[in-house]
Amino acid sequence: MAALLPGRAPVPSGPRALLDFRPVLRNRSALAYSLGYMVHTWEMNTLRAWVVTFLVFSAAYSGGGPQWAAPAAVATALSLAGIWASVSGNEIAMRIGRRKFILIVMFASMAMAATIGFASFLSYEVVALLCIMYGVLIWADSASLTAGAVGSALPGQRGATLAVHSTLGYAGGFAGPLVAGLILDGAGGVGVVAWGLAFASVAAVLTIGPLALFMLRPKDLPGDRPNAP
């Protein structure tokens, strides 16, 4: 980072009250990306927390899965694929438009969340592949959302913007697995319907992301290709 990134002198922003986040909350563009990040992290941590248990259920339901695709191995592959998806997703967002890309990914994730739990009766290999595909979709807009929030920050407010962004994001990350667990318990704990409802709840929460983008209309960033001269 020190060797390759260009240096830039700090821009004086004048005095500002400590812990005053009102200017950040009035920044519609940054707030839209941060609300999107909140539901993204809700979804991401729900899958992280429950994917191994979900795959164990699927393997038991279908009579066992292959050793080379054990639930822990699938979860590892999912996480590694997610790193690639996050970095690649931001590159795609820069080329086709940030809002457009995030909306495409969110709607695809909603469709997957609404169906993957109810698909747990399928063969274990199919469910494992669906989980990896779902992980790629979840992580695809991660970097795009954070870059959008940071890039939309006003001069002198980048740290405060990141504070709000992270607080919203990891509030969602805390609530997501907990809500899914409560739904699983309420629906009987074990069964296709219980898993279907747990993941469908994630799809319902995800609607906040597109609504925030439609209502607050965040900007693409200066380096994104649609804004290039």
Gyration radius of the chain's alpha carbons: 19
Q: Whole-angstrom Cα distance, residue 114 to residue 118?
A: 8
Q: Note the pLDDT tens digit of each residue in 204-222.
A: 999 999 999 999 999 888 8
pLDDT of residue 229: 42
SS (H, E, C) 149-203: HHHHCCCCCHHHHHHHHHHHHHHHHHHHHHHHHHHHHHCCCCCHHHHHHHHHHHH
Q: What would the mean pLDDT of 143-166 be, rounded to a whole number?
A: 92
Full set of structural domains in the chain with CATH: 27-227 (1.20.1250.20)
pLDDT for 16 beyond 80: no
Mean pLDDT estimate for the chain: 90
DSSP 119: G
Token pair 């050793």 is found at: 67
pLDDT of residue 19: 73
Q: Whole-angstrom Cα distance, residue 129 to residue 74?
A: 8
Q: Is residue 63 left, alpha or beta, with left meaning phi > 0 and alpha meaning psi from -120 to 50?
A: left
**pLDDT > 70: percent of the chain:** 93
pLDDT of residue 20: 76
pLDDT for 109 beyond 50: yes
The torsion defined by the Cα of 36, 40, 173 and 18, in degrees rounded to 10, comes to -30
